[in-house]
Amino acid sequence: MPTGYATLDRPSSKLVLARYQLILRLMLSLPALALALMCAATGAKPAEPIVLRTEAGRFSLRLTDIERPERVNHLHGFELSLITVDGRPATSASIVITGQHRYALNPLPTSPQVQPGPADGTYRIEGLRFHVAGEWRLVFAIEFEQIRDRATLDIVVK
Amino acid sequence: MKKSFLIAVLAGLAICAVGPAHAQSAPEWTAQELEILRSLTLSSLPKLPPDPTNKYGDDPRAADFGHRLFFDTRLSSNGMIACTTCHEPERDFTDGKQVSIGVGVTPRNAPTIIGAAHNIWFFWDGRKDSQWSQALASLENPLEHNMPRDQAVEAIRSNPDLSRDYVAIFGILPVSSDRDGVNRAFSNIGKAIAAYERRIMPGPAKFDRYAEAIFAGRQPAPPDNLTLDERQGLHVFISDQLGRCLRCHNGPLFTNQHFHNIGVAEPTRQDLEEGRIAGIETALADEFNCTGKYSDARPNECAELNFARRNSPELRGAFKVPTLRNLLKTGPYMRIGSRRTLEDVMWHYRTLPIARVGQSELNDLPITSTEFDQLEAFLRTLDGPINVPPKYLRPPETAKVN
């Protein structure tokens, strides 16, 4: 057996030490994890946008200003930027958003509307309401330059 | 090394010493369930925001004037019907009847006004988008007050007290030939009534007191402690595997403010109604809606109307989800008052009637007869006082009351 490798039967002292260090790091990271969970519970928004790729890979969507988790019975909105597979902003695309609760099977109680945003390929989504807590699936049906594709986003509503 | 081992052992012993005390009072509710309970308590109800459609909504003078109008039978064609005829304060602002009786017999059961200012839509089919425009429709409905708008305005003008108060708040009364002025004055009558109704809020119920004690980590006081059956009923209520009640009855007012078809069937074919699918079209065409000229809102403040769902099959035969607070005095239940008692309501969910319009969303629930009884026991814990200045529960001295 090459030097430096350890078997599962007889772990080397270095490997044992590494395991303890890993456990210690995990314990130290717990407060940070708890803080992250608290942020989620209080409806804090992530700094990072959500990036989705459509089913056939023809577009990518970048969602910003979206609450995670979404709150039940509030009107929500967010920004969407749409990029084609060759990296162009997709301006004046047709975007239709539908949604369904994963278990109750209720559709969205509102009709979200998509308005052009300030920059090329950007859009403002308004009028999204979830009236039941739990898991929802949003579907973005996109049509641009005679190309149709869909993207889905699973979200948890609290 | 030995020292650190000793410290570790002592720490472990300390944890063990604390452990049994917690084990003896093992928490009944998981963290996730506690989060749900918190979302249902009255302390989660946000402060009532201003109604952008009604700039008089939070004006105390308008509320006092609306209080007078609410009790006044002069705003009816036969001089016998006031808002209180169907919304009696003693009955938690309902009338105890299967369907309400105004100048004629209406097809609807009167819902409570308690907390209704938080509603998004008004009437069972949501054909109104504000509390003041709802009041106007009841005034003009031939089966309720049967009071056309010009006659309502004339009733104010012809009474020195009422006209004096009206002018002090809203300015001059229009001449009867001024159609737009009459509409404006009529809308002001509704806005005053809504200003009064906005003060009528639910007070903490037994459930709220129990939950607050649990959140504070203390044992609820005996009168506030839910019985075993009530707690089991609460479990059933919040479980998506059992009662699934939260799908419609969520939030501190126990309503998701939306419309669902649960197969409440009208007695005859002539009475069948389309529900929300028609109600939203009426709301959009209403001259007194949020975007109309008599509303005080800017167009961008009418999001609910602008984003309302339309022409969707699940809206056929769908009606508004009522609050579950203050159920003890607000029966009979359902929009046509077809369920006399809470036990009858439970029976509805056990028998799953087939909808005569559209399709019922109800499914067979995997809960036992005992659990249905426990669910009913829990619902009774949602009864609480009315949070309103006491003077607003009594007739004002100057109103004409039968």
pLDDT in tens, B70-102: 999 999 999 999 999 999 999 999 999 999 999
pTM: 0.86
> What chain A residue is nearest to B250 in terms of C-alpha separation?
A132
Residue in A108, A132, A158 closest to B309 by CB: A108
Please tell me the predicted confidence (pLDDT) of residue A70.
Answer: 78
Which CATH number, 3.40.190.10, 2.60.40.10, 3.60.20.30, 1.10.150.120, labels domain A50-157?
2.60.40.10
Residue in B244, B246, B307 closest to A113 by CB: B307
CA distance B248 to chain A (A): 7
| DSSP-derived 3-state class of residue B394 | coil
In B, which residues are within 8 Å of A99 by CB distance?
none
Judged by CB atoms closer than 8 Å, whether chains meet at B303 and A133 is answered as no
Query: Which of B 141-200 lie inside 8 A of A, CB atoms?
Result: none
Helix (H) or strand (E) holding A152: strand A147-157
Write out the two tokens for A130: 């979830």
Residue B380: CB partners within 8 Å, gap ≥ 6?
B230, B327, B328, B342
In A, which residues are within 8 Å of B247 by CB distance?
101, 104, 106, 132
CA-nearest of B85, B84, B286, B45 to B197 is B84
Judged by CB atoms closer than 8 Å, whether chains meet at B256 and A132 is answered as yes
CA B60 – CA B236 distance, rounded (Å):
42
Burial class (CB in 10 A: 0-12, 13-18, 19+), A98: middle
CA B319 – CA B306 distance, rounded (Å):
20
> What chain A residue is nearest to B252 in terms of C-alpha separation?
A73
Residue B79 — left, alpha, or beta (φ > 0 → left; ψ -120 to 50 → alpha)?
A: left
Q: Strands (DSSP E) along B131-249, which ranges?
A: 201-202
CA B363 – CA B349 distance, rounded (Å):
8
Instruction: For chain B of 402 residues, list the mean pLDDT of each consecutive stretch of 10.
Output: 47 40 59 96 97 98 98 97 98 98 97 98 98 98 98 97 97 96 98 98 98 96 95 97 96 97 83 93 98 96 97 96 98 96 97 94 95 98 98 84 63
Q: Is the pLDDT of residue A114 over 90?
A: yes
Is A73 an interface residue toward B (CB < 8 Å)?
yes
In A, which residues are within 8 Å of B36 by CB distance?
133
Question: CB–CB of B71/B399 below 8 Å?
Answer: yes
Please tell me the predicted confidence (pLDDT) of residue A33.
Answer: 42
CA distance B34 to chain A (A): 12
CA A101 – CA A109 distance, rounded (Å):
11
pLDDT in tens, B238-256: 999 999 999 999 999 999 9
> What chain B residue is nearest to A129 in terms of C-alpha separation?
B307
* Phi, psi for A152 (deg, rounded to 5): -125, 150
In B, which residues are within 8 Å of A110 by CB distance?
307-309
> What chain B residue is nearest to A41 in terms of C-alpha separation?
B35
CA distance A82 to chain B (A): 23
Kindly list the structural domains of chain B, giving each domain's residue range(s) and its CATH number in brackets, ordered by start.
Answer: 60-201+387-393 (1.10.760.10), 228-386 (1.10.760.10)
Residues paired with A141 in a beta bridge: A96, A150
In A, which residues are within 8 Å of B242 by CB distance?
none
| DSSP-derived 3-state class of residue B11 | helix
> What chain B residue is nearest to A42 in terms of C-alpha separation?
B35
Write out the two tokens for B339: 């369920």
Residue in A72, A109, A158 closest to B309 by CB: A109
CB atoms closer than 10 angstroms to residue A67 = 18
Please tell me the predicted confidence (pLDDT) of residue B177.
Answer: 95
CB atoms closer than 10 angstroms to residue B399 = 18
Query: Which of A 92-151 lie inside 8 A of B, CB atoms?
Result: 101, 103-104, 106-113, 126-127, 129, 131-134
CB atoms closer than 10 angstroms to residue A48 = 8
CA A52 – CA A70 distance, rounded (Å):
18
Residues paired with A89 in a beta bridge: A83
For helices B160-170 and B179-197, the axis angle rounded to 10 degrees is 90
CA-nearest of B400, B295, B385 to B89 is B385
CA distance A141 to chain B (A): 18
CB atoms closer than 10 angstroms to residue B78 = 11
CA distance B306 to chain A (A): 8
Residues paired with A24 in a beta bridge: none
DSSP per-residue letters across A55-115: TTSSEEEEEES--SSBPTT-EEEEEEEEEETTS-B-TT-EEEEEEEETTT-PBPSB--EEE
Residue in B39, B307, B314 closest to A110 by CB: B307
Is B203 an interface residue toward A (CB < 8 Å)?
no
Given pLDDT bands bounded at 50, 70 and 90, which one contains residue A19? low
Residue in B39, B247, B308 closest to A110 by CB: B308
CA-nearest of A109, A51, A111, A48 to A80 is A51
Mean pLDDT of A25-36: 44
Q: Go through B2-29 and write b for each residue having 16 or more CB atoms within 10 A of its CB, e for each that does not.
A: eeeeeeeeeeeeeeeeeeeeeeeeeeeb
Given pLDDT bands bounded at 50, 70 and 90, which one contains residue A158? confident
CA distance B308 to chain A (A): 5
CA-nearest of A78, A7, A52 to A149 is A52
Q: How, if at all, do strands B319-320 and A113-116 pair?
A: unpaired
Please tell me the predicted confidence (pLDDT) of residue A20.
Answer: 52
CA-nearest of B255, B258, B373, B243 to B314 is B258
Comparing B9 with A94, the larger pLDDT belongs to A94
Instruction: Output B179-187 pairs: Cβ under 8 A, ≥24 positions apart.
Output: B182/B149, B182/B150, B182/B153, B183/B149, B183/B287, B183/B294, B184/B294, B185/B153, B185/B156, B186/B136, B186/B139, B186/B149, B186/B152, B186/B153, B187/B132, B187/B133, B187/B136, B187/B288, B187/B294
Place of tokens 């501190």: B252
CA distance B238 to chain A (A): 11
Residue B299 — left, alpha, or beta (φ > 0 → left; ψ -120 to 50 → alpha)?
A: alpha
CA-nearest of B312, B218, B222 to B258 is B312
